[in-house]
Amino acid sequence: MNRTIVVFLLVTSILTGAATHAQVKSNIADKKKVFLPQAYLGSSEYYSGTIKKDVLSNLLKQGLTSKDAAGNKYKVTGFEFAYSERALYEDSVGNLQVLVDYMFEYCPGDTLSSGISSVIYDRFKAGDTVFFNRIHVLKPNATSGDIVSGKGMKFVITK
């Protein structure tokens, strides 16, 4: 009787382990690689890192471009622009604090919207950070429904 229970438990655990292994293997096979083309500033190869204020301003006026590793170009249809500006503030007691102000704007197309582009270039200064998120790109030779997300970008402004 005791030997029967041990054999039964052993067989049950082997079958459960085999079923679990098969499910994990099928989940790994079901996962597809997500295609994210890289976005760039203007016609340059800048996609993240530090960047000088003048270079950022000039490239940003050109708009965003996107291409994949094979060199296929994609049309940018919109993106989220975020600007974090470091500023010095004074609290109610007179202590100085460096705080960050954030500015967000969704920009249709591949360039900044007119409202934000009229003020942003004068506000750029060293230490601030510019983010480009949720970059939507249209696949080449595709209809308007074939929009995919591109990789986001982050730039820290230097002198």
Predicted local confidence at residue 1, as pLDDT: 58
| Domain segments of the chain as ranges | 1-31, 38-158
Predicted local confidence at residue 43, as pLDDT: 87
Q: Which two tokens stand for residue 78?
A: 């919109």
Q: What is the pLDDT along the chain (159 residues), one digit of tens a residue?
A: 577 776 666 667 776 766 666 565 555 555 566 567 899 998 889 999 999 999 999 999 999 999 888 888 888 999 999 999 998 899 899 999 989 999 999 999 999 998 888 889 889 999 999 999 999 998 777 666 678 888 899 999 998
**Dist. CA 9–CA 126, nearest whole Å:** 67
Q: Which two tokens stand for residue 8?
A: 């039964």
pTM, full prediction:
0.72
Is the CA virtual torsion 137, 138, 144, 147 positive or negative? negative
Is the CA virtual torsion 17, 19, 20, 26 positive or negative? positive
Predicted local confidence at residue 50, as pLDDT: 95
Predicted local confidence at residue 139, as pLDDT: 79
Predicted local confidence at residue 159, as pLDDT: 86
**Dist. CA 107–CA 128, nearest whole Å:** 20
Q: Which two tokens stand for residue 159?
A: 């002198």
**Dist. CA 35–CA 97, nearest whole Å:** 42
